[in-house]
């Protein structure tokens, strides 16, 4: 359900307008002293309201640690629960949202699955806001990985079909002006990942990463290395030849495998891309249904919304990758 | 590790040249009578040696049921173990294979992870042959799903960059003639999947499907609905408008979501695509390393190999989808 | 680790002197409206300070719900996190406790497992206070079970070797006067449990119950039905003969099986007993070691302590049973 | 369900009269060469037909390894599947057994849970024969533990209420002569278990051991150290004082804790006892019901049966303990 991971695992909880959102983490190593300033800086990359292109909901994503630290601020072996209070809760009139599901949103499937009990305001548990606790878990995993020489860096590789930064920005502005939204592709490169992480078959690094990454709202595709492009290559082009480098380490001349063979890391950079669909909340009138009146109807989503969540999703992708890699490494005994 | 699923789960075991390969399945419903002829026909779609374009290893993939059935051939509530004997085992000289990892294969990562103890012949546990037991589990799940009106159909959507069937075939033949190989894209459409399957966040239908699909060797990408294409669309294009159809059922006019919103099925066809990399075993000389001599070397993979595994992977993709969907439906109480 | 259960599962977190303790629960049914007054009353049975025989730490165990409810106070399908603030934290001088492990406590094993990072004050994560969040999860499960006619009732069956209530009380008072403590046996009877809950082998009702019950600090034994007594019986005495009762329901004339055969409930009352060891914190001088000085030493545990935790553990046992039974029933489809 | 364990885990499958029974094991360390003669000797301790007091079904419990070994007989990192063929299958007339549940057996609960599909002959999946695959997994775990200085020794501590070996034997003979059966208590002592195994709360060593031990048919109670006896002790009697021994190791003067405090091993011998109920199959006429005729009836169980399974259960208890301890140690990094 809302939990993932084995020896390093966490459960994300909360809804957009509940008193709080948060995460409960098991498997942080005893003796680890989290750097909370660094975590705040990481969370700030995800936070809204940074510029004129993102949503106006300005909440600081200020974390509060409820458990897991000893009096000296050191992880004590107990599960760590971290919360972020929701300051903007339970207000407003959600009657329309309850009756008319927004196209492209989880409103309709929430209604199917949870019926009248579902939490409607702000998208409830399906809110993108739930990526903040994922960034808490991932931000801590990133700190732990850094101690072992692993760095994870994601970036917007395309937005609205454009790959040039200026063109990407223009695509967002144009969409915003039209009350519309755009999606994009995020590429993530993980350097320093030791060879040998991941297990064959269903617990390979690709399986583990995909399971976390598809937990980020709006992600509709995940590919590793050459990915879908590999499907058009020949074996002689796609295979990465091995060689001994000057330090007598085995490397590959290319990295179409994205650092993973047979589900297990090769020691080359782990590279993957995720497809992020355009934000479903748009200011343009759309067709929908009225669940109460049982009629077709029109809907114009009110309020201001991110015309593009790709930039804010970049640190979320890093967080997801960090969680999967730290957990796999823990199982492989890589962090001792 | 080699196990996946919750209320319907299975563990795949075996190696290419072990005495047998097989699967142990938990959660088959009591009272279900498997149709073994139908399963054989399904397995035959995956089997090698069907035509001049696939590998010459001809093993019938004949299944033998060891447990799970009562004397009347009905599932009794106990785990079902099904094996396929390996008739072609433990022969040959694998010294070169042990020393020189094949580019694009798991030979190197198996060496890193399992060291001298790894099972080398035929690729050991990383052999594509292990997809046969996956097809056993999936073939049974397909029979169960059919009872509930769910049908799953995959097809090769592209091979070697070509999408026309004749051009696909030509691409394989050309690659084969050159001792090379090609990859492709498999599209899978699941019809009749009830709305409401899957859970939010890490247990959504996308997460579940991706976790099984990346367990198929050579899969390097998974996308749902418009997938990576959605990244270039605007929200107004990508959002699927809801409407009441003539039977008063809620449907969407388009299906860019691939039948999944917020990780939960919408009741529209569940559509996804997987990227299959070109078979790494090719007859062309490649660069590699000699793990024993610690030198760079050349390798020409001996024997005949599939120039393209995409056609044989089509039923495997169906099997994987069936397992994930049947399990999710079981949790959602959809098959009662 | 700190999580248990399948379709109804929860993670307990917190330490004695952390900012808070709490529980994150998955699988509460959508539409369920918890009765918080009833939960408070249940928690009050566990709370300390009720009489002159229990510890003087008086904290109200006041719960605060952070997530999982919709604006109408109804379970919405999202994980529910409930916390209890620790009002009595981070004070005091724990230097002696850090150096000298209390006999019978987890101080020593916490030191072995978590080293210098362990949380010492109040026993950290090993504090009996962590049974409060277990009572939150269990208290909610009890409300759900009650809707389906299941009632769970535990009682102190023996204290300090005495089985008569007056003698039990006397045993506690005598021990208290001596600065000592006593243990006891708690018997729990679960009525209305449907037949068919539990799975064979490792997921039987006995396995499930034992796994939760041994999570209660001080529990050192669990037995079902005739339990250890059955070991001295003959088959002809211990077997429970079946018969059709006046309503044509199958029952057994005796219930030595404690309502469980082959790990699966029979429909007869589910009966078990747990052994609770005497509170290890006593006012009498004991032998121990000084971990810093590496010498043998003497220890007299300071402060007031429960001379007997059995009465306070009674609702905890009920909570544990409720969690296991509700989860097993959910898997068996018993609560639909 | 039929699977247990984390990093070392296994699934037991098969029924009394299916073609085979067996076990699929994940997490055997690569490079380990099982000693199959030693395993056979271990299995022989569990096998029936050793003397005039046990059942006459004489099957050799000959194991056949299907997967998990490389050509040199070394564990290769892949799951190991081991089967035992059932030579005595599918014969006989089970009509009475299908209609009339044996008191004390799982016949009735199997009927409730699995209905008409259940496997009746020989008790199906509830047969004590399924302890043979548990002994395969446990026998291998015992070999691995021995490499790390851990030894596990169980013994019949009581049979039919008697604790003297001669009196125990007499109790069995007397019961047998009467067509009756007796139960008993098995005590198990695990020496050399490192301190620090097990996790707090629900994954403590007591929880883990209990979850496996209650998977052994007929086990109705589990206690650790002083167990139920501790319930009658005072804290000053039950607490085990710490001291530094002559090698400067911390030990306890007594071991009422059975080597476990707070769920974590102390380094002292791990000691537990299980209660085994008398074999339910007896030659004496008993009351039962006819499920088909819906009437009360009498039943006399035909065939020869063990008048006491305690001696045969002794190695099964050792196997169960070995599995739990090896798995916990693997998680704690104790076997590196």
Express as a percent the part of chain A with pLDDT over 70.
96
d(CA D190, CA D206): 13
Q: List the single residue in C with minimal CA-CA distance to A14.
A: C67
Q: Which of D77, D130, D137 to mutate to test the interface with B (most CBs of B within 10 A)?
A: D77
Of residues D97 and D146, more confidently modeled: D146
**Longest CA–CA separation in chain C, Å:** 72
Express as a percent the part of chain D with pLDDT over 90.
89
Side by side, the strands of the sheet bearing B151-159 are: A151-159, A184-191, A270-276, A219-224, B219-224, B270-276, B184-191, B151-159
Nearest to B31 among D74, D80, D117 (CB): D117
pLDDT at position D170: 97
And the tokens for C300?
A: 């007299």
**Residue D13, SS3 per DSSP:** strand
Give yes or no for residue B242 having a pLDDT over 60.
Answer: yes
* Buried/exposed B141-159: b ≥16 CB within 10 Å, e otherwise: bbbbbeeeebebebebbbb
Residues of A in contact with C124 (CB under 8 A): 70, 76, 78
pLDDT in tens, D117-126: 999 998 999 9
pLDDT in tens, B100-129: 999 999 999 999 999 999 999 989 999 999
Nearest to D117 among B18, B30, B110 (CB): B30
Q: List the single residue in C with minimal CA-CA distance to B200.
A: C78
Averaged over A203-214, what is the pLDDT? 98
Q: List the single residue in D with minimal CA-CA distance to B76.
A: D118
Q: Cβ contact (<8 Å) for C81 and A22? A: yes
pLDDT at position B90: 60
pLDDT in tens, A296-314: 999 998 877 889 999 999 9
Q: List the single residue in D with minimal CA-CA distance to A335.
A: D333
Nearest to C236 among D180, D206, D252 (CB): D180
Give yes or no for residue A155 having a pLDDT over 70.
Answer: yes
Backbone angles phi and psi of D114, in degrees to 5: -115, -10
**How big is the CA angle at D214 (ends D125 and C159), to the nearest 5 degrees?**
150
d(CA D22, CA D132): 8
CA distance A185 to chain C (A): 29
Q: Cβ contact (<8 Å) for D214 and C217? A: no
Chain pair B-D, CB pairs under 8 angstroms? 176
Q: Cβ contact (<8 Å) for D244 and C289? A: yes
pLDDT at position C94: 82
Cβ B15 vs Cβ B119: under 8 Å? yes
Q: How confident is the model at residue C277 (pLDDT cuts 50, 70, 90)?
A: very high
Nearest to D220 among C106, C199, C224 (CB): C224
pLDDT at position D73: 96
Q: Cβ contact (<8 Å) for D333 and A333? A: yes
pLDDT in tens, D224-265: 999 999 999 999 999 999 999 999 999 999 999 999 999 999
Give yes or no for residue A54 having a pLDDT over 80.
Answer: no
Q: Cβ contact (<8 Å) for C125 and A78? A: yes
pLDDT in tens, A177-190: 999 999 999 999 99
pLDDT in tens, B206-223: 999 999 999 999 999 999
Task: Specify which residues B85 forms β-bridges with.
Answer: B20
Nearest to C104 among D12, D239, D278 (CB): D239
Give yes or no for residue D51 having a pLDDT over 70.
Answer: no
pLDDT in tens, C186-206: 999 999 999 999 999 999 999
Of residues B204 and A50, more confidently modeled: B204
Q: Please name the chains neighbouring D, where neighbouring means 3+ C-beta pairs under 8 angstroms.
A: A, B, C
pLDDT at position C99: 96
Averaged over A10-19, what is the pLDDT? 96
Eight-class DSSP state of C234: B
**pTM of model > 0.80:** yes
Q: List the single residue in A with minimal CA-CA distance to D335.
A: A333
Nearest to B77 among D30, D77, D117 (CB): D117
Nearest to C67 among A21, A30, A121 (CB): A21
Chain pair C-D, CB pairs under 8 angstroms? 355
pLDDT in tens, B130-147: 999 999 999 999 999 999
Residues of A with CB under 8 A from a CB of D: 6-7, 77-78, 200, 331, 333, 336
Q: Cβ contact (<8 Å) for B106 and A3? A: no
Averaged over C160-164, what is the pLDDT? 97
CA distance A9 to chain C (A): 10
pLDDT in tens, C37-50: 999 999 999 988 66
d(CA C290, CA D243): 9
pLDDT at position C55: 54
Residues of D in contact with B70 (CB under 8 A): 15, 117-120, 124
Q: Cβ contact (<8 Å) for D215 and C225? A: no
pLDDT at position C51: 58
Q: How confident is the model at residue C53 (pLDDT cuts 50, 70, 90)?
A: low
Q: How confident is the model at residue A73 (pLDDT cuts 50, 70, 90)?
A: very high
Q: How confident is the model at residue B36 (pLDDT cuts 50, 70, 90)?
A: very high
Task: Give the 3-state DSSP-derived string for chain B, with helices as H, strands as E and coil as C.
Answer: CCEEECCCEEEEEECCCCCEEEEEEECCCCCCCCCHHHHHHHHHHHCCCCCCCCCCCCCCCCEEECCCECCCCCECCCCEEEEEECCCCCCCCCHHHHHCCCCCCCHHHHHHHHHHHCCCHHHHHHCHHHHHHHHHHHHHHHHHHHHCCCEEEEEEEEECCECCHHHHHHHHHHHHHCCCCECEEEEEEEECCCCCCCCCHHHCHHHHHHHHHCCCCCEEEEEECCHHHHCCCEHHHHCCCEEECCCCCEEECCCCCCCEECCEECCCCEEEEEEECCCCCCCCCEEEEECCCCEEEEECCCCCCCCCCHHHHHHHHHHHHHHHHHHHHHHCCCCC
Nearest to A83 among C32, C66, C69 (CB): C66
Q: Which of C177, C256, C261 to mutate to test the interface with D (most CBs of D within 10 A)?
A: C261
pLDDT at position A47: 87
Euclidean distance between the first and the last CA atom of chain A, given in angstroms as a whole number: 30
pLDDT at position A223: 98
CA distance D64 to chain A (A): 24
Q: Cβ contact (<8 Å) for D282 and C238? A: no
Q: List the single residue in D with minimal CA-CA distance to B20.
A: D66
pLDDT in tens, D292-322: 999 999 999 887 788 999 999 999 999 999 9
Q: List the single residue in D with minimal CA-CA distance to B29.
A: D114
Of residues D121 and B272, more confidently modeled: B272
Q: Which of C69, C78, C86 to mutate to test the interface with A (most CBs of A within 10 A)?
A: C78
pLDDT at position D47: 87
Q: List the single residue in A with minimal CA-CA distance to D330.
A: A331
Give yes or no for residue D59 having a pLDDT over 80.
Answer: no
pLDDT at position C57: 53
Residues of D in contact with A78 (CB under 8 A): 200
Torsion of CA D247, D253, D259, D261, to 10 degrees: -110
- State the ipTM, two decimals: 0.97
Positive/negative CA dihedral, D282, D283, D288, D290: positive
Residues of B with CB under 8 A from a CB of C: 6-7, 78, 200, 331, 333, 336
Q: Which of A234, A251, A274 to mutate to test the interface with B (most CBs of B within 10 A)?
A: A234
Average pLDDT of chain B is: 94
Express as a percent the part of chain B with pLDDT over 70.
96
Q: List the single residue in C with minimal CA-CA distance to B8.
A: C331
Averaged over B36-50, what is the pLDDT? 91
Nearest CA among B268, B256, B241 for reference residue A296: B241
Q: Cβ contact (<8 Å) for C13 and A119? A: no
Averaged over B81-105, what is the pLDDT? 87
Q: Cβ contact (<8 Å) for C336 and B331? A: no
Q: List the single residue in D with minimal CA-CA distance to A330.
A: D331
Lowest pLDDT segment from A88-102, A245-259, C219-233: A88-102
Nearest to B14 among D66, D110, D124 (CB): D66
Q: Cβ contact (<8 Å) for D15 and B83? A: no
Nearest to C117 among A3, A14, A70 (CB): A70
Averaged over D32-49, what is the pLDDT? 94
pLDDT in tens, D163-175: 999 999 999 999 9
């Amino acid at each position: 359900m809302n939990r993932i991971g084995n020896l390093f695992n966490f459960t994300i909880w909360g809804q957009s307008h509940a008193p709080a959102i948060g995460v409960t983490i098991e498997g942080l190593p005893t003796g680890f002293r989290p750097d909370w300033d660094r975590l705040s800086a990481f969370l700030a990359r995800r936070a809204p309201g940074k510029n004129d292109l993102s949503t106006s909901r300005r909440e600081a994503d200020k974390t509060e640690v409820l458990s897991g630290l000893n009096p000296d601020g050191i992880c004590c072996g107990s599960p760590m629960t971290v919360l972020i209070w929701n300051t903007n809760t339970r207000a407003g009139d959600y009657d329309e949202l309850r009756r008319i599901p927004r196209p492209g949103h989880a409103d309709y499937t929430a209604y199917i699955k949870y019926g009248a009990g579902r939490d409607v305001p702000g998208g409830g548990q399906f809110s993108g806001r739930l990526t903040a606790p994922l960034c808490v878990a991932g931000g801590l995993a990133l700190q732990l990985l850094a101690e072992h020489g692993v760095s994870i860096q994601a970036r917007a590789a395309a937005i609205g079909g454009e790959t040039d930064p200026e063109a990407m920005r223009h695509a967002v502005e144009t969409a915003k002006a039209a009350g519309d939204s755009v999606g994009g592709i995020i590429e993530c490169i993980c350097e320093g990942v030791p060879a040998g992480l991941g297990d064959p078959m269903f617990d390979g690094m690709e399986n583990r990463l995909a399971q976390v990454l598809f937990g980020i709202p709006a992600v509709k595709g995940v590919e590793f290395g050459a990915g879908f492009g590999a499907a058009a290559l020949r074996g002689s082009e796609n295979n990465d030849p091995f060689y001994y480098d000057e330090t007598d380490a085995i490397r590959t001349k290319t990295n179409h495998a994205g650092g993973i063979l047979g589900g297990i890391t090769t020691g080359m950079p782990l590279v993957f891309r995720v497809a992020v669909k355009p934000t479903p909340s748009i200011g343009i009138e759309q067709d929908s249904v009225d669940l109460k009146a049982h009629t077709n109807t029109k809907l114009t989503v009110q309020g201001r919304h991110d015309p593009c969540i790709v930039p804010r999703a970049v640190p979320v992708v890093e967080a997801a990758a960090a969680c999967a890699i730290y957990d796999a490494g823990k199982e492989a005994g890589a962090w001792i």
